[in-house]
Amino acid sequence: MRIAYLDCFSGISGDMFLGALIDAGVPAKTFEDAVSVLAVGARLEISRVNRSGISAAKVDVIVEGEKDSPRDASAELSGRTGMSDPHGHSHSHEHSHTHAETQHGVHHFSPVLGEVGLSPSHAHQHGRGLAGIREIIGRATLSEFAKSTALSIFEKLGAAEAKIHDVPIEEIHFHEVGAVDALVDIVCAAVGAEAFQRDCKRNW
């Protein structure tokens, strides 16, 4: 039996994993079809890049015309208020942030930055909670394996956030744009893993 082993000594992003699956033989159309049935206003842009002499597939998630949604701005708690800072973002692989003090922003939880604040205008752009994510995945035309795998990943992420911030898991909300980006990454990862196991290993 052959095993594909991911040596993620410093982690791996969703788009990197999808690119690796494409290079391992999973057809790009497999991911494009998965994004289509999610019906969340997203599409994929797949290209080839060369990094330090290594050629690889690159997968970008385009959400309402925006590429590479902020991956460090992923989760927030709905309905929490306090003295905090709104956030301005400029994103590539590095992150720059501008801050201005304000009152009555909702607390925003970032895996990279910790607890930061959002302005009142941003607070009205509520993200999706786990219930909404379950609904989107549940109604999509995907295999039961892909659905259960994707839901399991989201529930583990939610449970980790809930434990860290000492709140019920249903209070965890993923920031609106980041949630779509993460939803596409995670669902496509589940779909791609299934396709790789079913169709690609025999070609190795």
Give 63-97 pLDDT, tens digit per residue.
Answer: 876 665 444 434 445 444 443 444 444 444 444 34
% of the chain beyond a pLDDT of 90: 42
- The per-residue pLDDT for 178 is 58
Position with higher pLDDT, 59 vs 120 = 59
85, 170: one domain: yes
Residues 116, 38 share a domain: no
Are 187 and 146 in contact, with CB atoms under 8 Å apart?
A: yes
Segment 140-148 shows an average pLDDT of 97
Question: Residue 6 domain-assigned?
Answer: no
Name the pLDDT band for 170 (thresholds 50, 70, 90).
confident
| 104 domain-assigned | yes
**Interatomic CA distance for residues 157 and 173, integer angstroms:** 11
> Does residue 102 share a domain with residue 166?
yes
Domain check: are 164 and 80 in the same one?
yes
Range of the domain at 151: 75-174
pLDDT recorded at residue 130: 87
My answer on whether 112 and 50 are in the same domain is no
Q: Number of C-alpha atoms within 13 angstroms, CB side, residue 82?
A: 9
Selected residue with higher pLDDT from 2 and 115 = 2
- Split into its structural domains, the chain has a count of 2
pLDDT average, residue stretch 131-137: 92
If asked whether residues 100 and 163 sit together in one domain, one would say yes
| 156 in the same domain as 80 | yes
- Using alpha carbons, list the distances in angstroms from residue 203 to 3, 30, 195, 196: 13, 17, 13, 10
Q: Is the pTM of this model over 0.85?
A: no
Which positions ≥6 away from 195 have C-beta within 8 Å? 21, 26, 27, 30
